[in-house]
Amino acid sequence: MRTLGHETAGTIAKLGSNVSDSWNVGDQAVVHLVVSCGVCSECHAGRDHQCEVANEGPIPMSYGIGQPGGTADYMAVNARHLIKLEDVDLAEAAPLADAGLTPMQAVNSVRDRLTPEATVVVSGLGGLGHVGLQIILATTGSRVVALDTDQEKVDYATQKGAIGMVSDESAAEKIREMTGGIGADVVLDFVGVQPTVDIATQVIRNGGAIRFVGLGRGEFPYIAGDTKVLPWNVNIQLPYTGTLSDLRQVVALAAQDKLHVEVERYSLDDAVTAFEDLANGRIQGRAVLVP
């Protein structure tokens, strides 16, 4: 049997004997997604999301994935994996554990390129993409082009201060025109299906950076020496989860009211209904189970 739930926030009910006195019963916290060890070379380098112990399998060891997760009245967590919450609603904090964390890692990995002169393309404004958009708008001065196939989501991005654009066959050309033919400095693809992967490779500029966050199985051919597929010096990464430091930054933005995740609350006893509603596309944003 496995207890699901890899995005968890809660109130501390009991402290273990080795927990430092910086924690008290009644404190609220969000759980870091990756079960990192704190003592391997990756953890010591501040890359705890790449912890050697947690990454022995193909997917990093997480609460809810390999270890018991948060869809329960109580869960046991190593205090090292908690970030304290102040002024953040627990139900709204829970999705930050992944839907906030992974976009923050993606944005932080390209932060040196997100200058006020830069153009960044955010592709897909769903669960993670709409958070990534808010993180960029709140923490950079770059010009943001936000793409989605859904007009409502495009309008949401425009209201937030981005240049909303419908993601269709003409999008890549429009972005190239907007940048004087140079292309975008950064593309964050939160979808990863063939059309969005095509847009990413078509609009990225020489020396730009692409982050493929979405897992939609789109592909492109890498041909050594052929710059028709990708221009020179393009940097590509596949962000997965994020560090404790990334999570702290996400929580801080939420506490400052600069980051909002749309949530729909269900009681823990109604979990099956929540999963059914999710499967039938009846949930806007994230469904949160409240014990």
List contacts with Zn ion (CB under 5 A): 36-37, 40, 43, 51
Q: How far is the CB of 43 from Zn ion (least distance, A)?
A: 3
Residues 6+ apart with CB under 8 A from 225: none
- How does DSSP assign 58-87, residue by residue? SS--EETBEE--SSSS-----GGGEEE-SS
Looking at the Cβ atoms of 146 and 244, the one nearer to Zn ion is: 244
Let me know: does 184 contact 115? Beta carbons within 8 Å. no
3-state secondary structure of 96: helix
Q: What is the nearest approach in angstroms of Zn ion to the Cβ of residue 34?
A: 9
Element of type H or E holding 29: strand 28-31
The smaller minimum CB distance to Zn ion, of residues 60 and 239, is found at: 60
Closest CB 51 distance from Zn ion, rounded Å: 3
What distance in Å separates the CA atoms of residue 216 and residue 197, rounded to the nearest whole number?
Answer: 9
Type of residue numbered 64: G
Q: For the CA atoms of 210, 234, 107, 260, what is the dihedral angle to 10 degrees?
A: -30
Residue 213 and residue 108: Cα distance in Å, rounded? 13
Query: Least distance to Zn ion from the beta carbon of 50, Å?
Result: 8
Beta strands in 238-284 (DSSP E): 263-267
Measured from the CB atom, is 105 or 179 closer to Zn ion?
A: 105
Q: Is 78 left (phi over 0), alpha (psi -120 to 50) or beta?
A: beta
- Report the nearest approach of Zn ion to the CB of residue 41 (Å): 8
CA pair distance 6, 3, nearest whole angstrom? 9
Q: Which is nearer to Zn ion, 61 or 99 (CB)?
A: 61
Kindly tell me which of 18 and 159 has the beta carbon lying closer to Zn ion.
Answer: 18
Whether 290 and 266 have beta carbons less than 8 Å apart is answered as: yes
User: Closest CB to Zn ion among 43 and 288?
Assistant: 43
Q: Which residue's CB is nearer to Zn ion, number 60 or number 218? A: 60
Provide the minimum distance between the beta carbon of 37 and Zn ion in the complex, in angstroms, as a whole number: 4
Shortest reach from residue 31's CB to Zn ion, in Å: 17
